[in-house]
Structure 1
């Protein structure tokens, strides 16, 4: 499976990369302070932040693998999880945003320092940095593997090109460049998805009516499964409860998202962006799931001659059935790159922000000038970018199961961080030692549930939407109980009212 780009397709692809770099140079002119570089001078419009939130949480897996879910027996039932996102982000707006707009914070984990102490802040920030860069390095690997398989480019070349372009526009433009590029990249992959829908309607005998009929006959149009199950992720309860807690963790405590909220002009603007992003995500996921349903219908009429995994069917269709050299293949390749770069650039900017504000500045014995801090922040961007490229190249030497397990571990942070924030919001009597004991307990329980509690066939007994709930509940419960053994003393250095 390989495709050769025509000159029009190549022009579309090169145009995307050129625009991304140009935006970095143009927006970089406004970055005269660290705050402008890391937070866009807290002046970005809510609709741009909304686009950036959605693009950031959309990886290459969404663009290519989510159609594989719709192609399989799950069909549209995946959307139950997205409904939980709406509920969870409503809670983020009401509970978490007031914490971040209480003072001019630069990092999400400064809230934990105010409420639980500097050790907890450092632990949370370090957990974020490790899991974020491991996870996004592996996601860059997945993007590189797709490009290598579809276009037969050398793998290292794939990840170096994607990584280098992203580093370049983030280095110069900072968060402004990240957010404006995210908005453009969001538009690109949505247009690519809509184009795929239109092409499939045109190619399937009977068109739209046949697709609807096929979806009904095969139950792929069914949205809700009311049966409760811990092992099946695609039921209403796992979607509403597990999905809600997961998005509270990822969008309420992960600095990659919180950094965007802090760049808004006001708490009200940030809240509007967060809540509406959940609605846009539901529509976006529905689009890519529906592409999968259409693909199942298409290949029921034109059966595949080779056995192909569901998550690679969309890539196979792009190569074999997209019109050649009219710009559409270039557009879909641009969409794949856009999804990868939006996540990677957001990760770089958020990692630099966390490292600078949670470690570099507090550990400096002498005050650091803002000019020096800006220079350090830019070179940290390069450092994190090189690190993620290195992780992706290293992952190419690993077994697929190892990579999947590493991605699962990278996802643990949402539950642990949410448990820490819950302890901070509750302001229980727990000392920093007790809180850290709770976090370690949460990690141990998540490792046990994810890697030890398996069926005889090796399947998970507990589906992934429940992991954030398990991790946060364990961290909060154990941390609270440990507070009776390690109570917070009256002379604590915490900033308590």
Structure 2
């Protein structure tokens, strides 16, 4: 009977690239390829943003967070919504002035090509690490499914197949194909997860909810734990989540490129803020599934259930407990959700490489057809690099969603801080921004790997990951601000030019 699952998965994965190509239309110019001619509906961009940022990690890892803990993870989503509102009204208006195709074009206008290139390289490395982890996470349920057929494959082989399927429509269809496939994929994995949750609910013993409440599985706010070392303490989660969202949706090309594909600024703001509400609801769904899994497995440790890692909890239920066909469709949805993240990364990486780096290094602006051709070539190159990076994470023991957020936080403070430095400190020059940027990266990495703090329970622990971004922002602003004091006030013509560029 489980052959049905394999057939459903195969058909779905083959259908997605075909749908992407059909929905993308012809890509005649770089404006079509990078921005979808700025003619995409706001609701489609909204769902694309949600699918890109939370897809696979949400489906398989957020339930694990609730299984091992409680609902305190939802505090991050509250912060995410607050951060999106700030971005919608502070940073998005800056991007919609002019013809920007990259978030880092603003830094190029404000400081110069050196700062633009520095930010772009940092973005490339961050995306390779963070989304390489997401791609690896997708291989987990596939491996569980195939092992039920006594088929043994390695993670990197699964990653390679997914990458090949994804690169087809990303290469041909650009951002338009990416967005419309994201919409389809989100509908499948969320709809399938709702059905899986209903089936799981029907298998639970009576009184499970009261037991879960008694054990604190539905605790939302955490005011008692250390705000320094516990990522789910209220202050760390909400404040850190808000600043993280300001960076991820205001200074990361992956999200900014989607928002620039909307028809106008108002639509872009609507897409961004609505995505925060959708993420909040989506997190709630998967946390509730995690609490139900806790009741279903009687709170047993994943290792006691014969699982290689904690993130196998929900995939194992999908494979073993859902009806044939439905489990295959849901795992296909998880795979496709990862493909949406990968396609988004490939498109934004190629965009940033061509617009932020290649033209700056060569100091030559080629014709539009040449830029389009180079963008497609870089899409292929980055797809191969992703396979290598995704294979690096097969030994991680923590829930991958926590690891992924931590990786992104390493550089987000410096990126957001550079944007705010350009907006708030008029004296700042390119040298100030670059030095502040580098100092911030070094300082945050030292905090992450070289320092521990009292955990409030008699021991010591690393700094909680939600603090990485706020601390990075502060360091960038302080260092950049102090360095800017060595410069005189901008001359009238310089100030006028800067005002024109930023208006």
**Do residues 462 (structure 1) and 457 (structure 2) align?**
no
Structure 1 gaps of 5+ residues are: none
Residue 115 of structure 1 contacts residue 427 of structure 1 at CA under 8 Å; is this kept in 2?
no
**Do residues 8 (structure 1) and 7 (structure 2) align?**
no
Deviates more, 1:386-395 or 1:327-336: 386-395
Per-residue CA distance 1:140-163 (angstroms, 9 max, x = gap):
223224422442342232111111
Deviates more, 1:235-244 or 1:261-270: 235-244
Residue 116 of structure 1 contacts residue 494 of structure 1 at CA under 8 Å; is this kept in 2?
no
Deviates more, 1:482-491 or 1:436-445: 482-491
Structure 1 487/112 Cα, relative in aligned 2: closer, same or farther at 3 Å?
farther
Structure 1 444/362 Cα, relative in aligned 2: closer, same or farther at 3 Å?
closer
**Do residues 280 (structure 1) and 301 (structure 2) align?**
no
Per-residue CA distance 1:4-45 (angstroms, 9 max, x = gap):
x73432232123212211123213432111110111010000
**Structure 2 CA distance for aligned equivalents of residues 480 and 167 of structure 1:** 43
Match of 1:158 in 2: 158
1:394-405 aligned at under 5 Å gives the runs 394-396=392-394
Residue 135 of structure 2 contacts residue 390 of structure 2 at CA under 8 Å; is this kept in 1?
yes
Match of 1:383 in 2: 381
SS in 2 for 1:30: coil
Match of 2:30 in 1: 34
Structure 1 138/113 Cα, relative in aligned 2: closer, same or farther at 3 Å?
same
SS in 2 for 1:77: coil
**Structure 2 CA distance for aligned equivalents of residues 492 and 278 of structure 1:** 38
Match of 1:96 in 2: 91
Match of 1:312 in 2: 312
**Do residues 222 (structure 1) and 222 (structure 2) align?**
no
Residue 113 of structure 1 contacts residue 494 of structure 1 at CA under 8 Å; is this kept in 2?
no
Structure 1 80/406 Cα, relative in aligned 2: closer, same or farther at 3 Å?
closer
Match of 1:184 in 2: 184
Match of 1:126 in 2: 121
**TM-score, structure 1 length as denominator?**
0.91
How large is the RMSD of aligned CA atoms in angstroms? 2.6
Residue 430 of structure 1 contacts residue 487 of structure 1 at CA under 8 Å; is this kept in 2?
no
Match of 2:75 in 1: 80
Match of 2:17 in 1: 21
SS in 2 for 1:411: helix
**Structure 2 CA distance for aligned equivalents of residues 226 and 62 of structure 1:** 24
Match of 2:267 in 1: 269
Displacement of 1:351: 0.6
Deviates more, 1:478-487 or 1:77-86: 478-487
Structure 1 358/487 Cα, relative in aligned 2: closer, same or farther at 3 Å?
farther
Match of 2:204 in 1: 204
Match of 1:478 in 2: 479
> In the alignment, which of 328, 335, 338 is matched to residue 336 of structure 2?
338
Structure 1 371/25 Cα, relative in aligned 2: closer, same or farther at 3 Å?
same
**Structure 1 CA distance for aligned equivalents of residues 16 and 220 of structure 2:** 37
**Structure 1 CA distance for aligned equivalents of residues 439 and 266 of structure 2:** 36
Residue 51 of structure 2 contacts residue 183 of structure 2 at CA under 8 Å; is this kept in 1?
yes
Residue 45 of structure 2 contacts residue 179 of structure 2 at CA under 8 Å; is this kept in 1?
yes
**Structure 1 CA distance for aligned equivalents of residues 90 and 433 of structure 2:** 20
**Structure 2 CA distance for aligned equivalents of residues 163 and 174 of structure 1:** 15
**Do residues 322 (structure 1) and 333 (structure 2) align?**
no
Residue 69 of structure 1 contacts residue 310 of structure 1 at CA under 8 Å; is this kept in 2?
no
**Structure 1 CA distance for aligned equivalents of residues 489 and 387 of structure 2:** 42
Structure 1 174/370 Cα, relative in aligned 2: closer, same or farther at 3 Å?
same
Structure 1 393/234 Cα, relative in aligned 2: closer, same or farther at 3 Å?
closer
Residue 417 of structure 2 contacts residue 474 of structure 2 at CA under 8 Å; is this kept in 1?
yes
Displacement of 1:461: 3.5
Match of 1:296 in 2: 294
**Structure 1 CA distance for aligned equivalents of residues 157 and 451 of structure 2:** 39
Q: How many residues align?
A: 485
**Structure 2 CA distance for aligned equivalents of residues 495 and 363 of structure 1:** 24
Match of 1:110 in 2: 105
Structure 1 339/405 Cα, relative in aligned 2: closer, same or farther at 3 Å?
closer
**Structure 1 CA distance for aligned equivalents of residues 22 and 124 of structure 2:** 28
Deviates more, 1:144-153 or 1:413-422: 144-153
Displacement of 1:191: 1.4
Deviates more, 1:215-224 or 1:271-280: 215-224
Displacement of 1:112: 0.9
**TM-score, structure 2 length as denominator?**
0.90
SS in 2 for 1:233: coil
